[in-house]
Amino acid sequence: MARTGRPVADTSQITVRVPNAVLRRATALVELLSGKGYASGRASVFRAAILHGLDALEAEHGIATKPKRNRSNDPRRAHK
């Protein structure tokens, strides 16, 4: 079942401005990813992009600060 209601206690809400071209790219990914078992919605796409980007930046700079992911809260996977 999809999660509804208030967000998990260990989360923070942020606001960012992105170019319209980036927004269109995220929108295009929503349908593609939702068909592959990922959570659908632009917010989920942006959360996944942030996690992938942070992983890449940390690896690029040799930073090992990434905590173990709780798979049940991973926005890259659809909630059942």
Residue 68 has pLDDT above 50, yes or no: yes
Residue pLDDT, tens place only, 11-60: 999 999 999 999 999 999 998 888 787 767 999 899 989 999 999 999 99
Cβ neighbours for 7, distance < 8 A, ≥ 6 positions apart = 13
The answer to whether residue 69 scores a pLDDT higher than 80 is no
Predicted pLDDT of residue 80:
43
Residue ranges of alpha helices (H) inside 1-80 are 20-34, 42-60
CA-wise closest residue to 80 among 47, 43, 39? 39
pLDDT value at 6 more than 80: no
Q: Is the dihedral of CA 9, 50, 38, 74 positive or negative?
A: negative
Phi-psi category of 72—alpha, beta or left, where left has phi over 0 and alpha has psi -120 to 50?
alpha
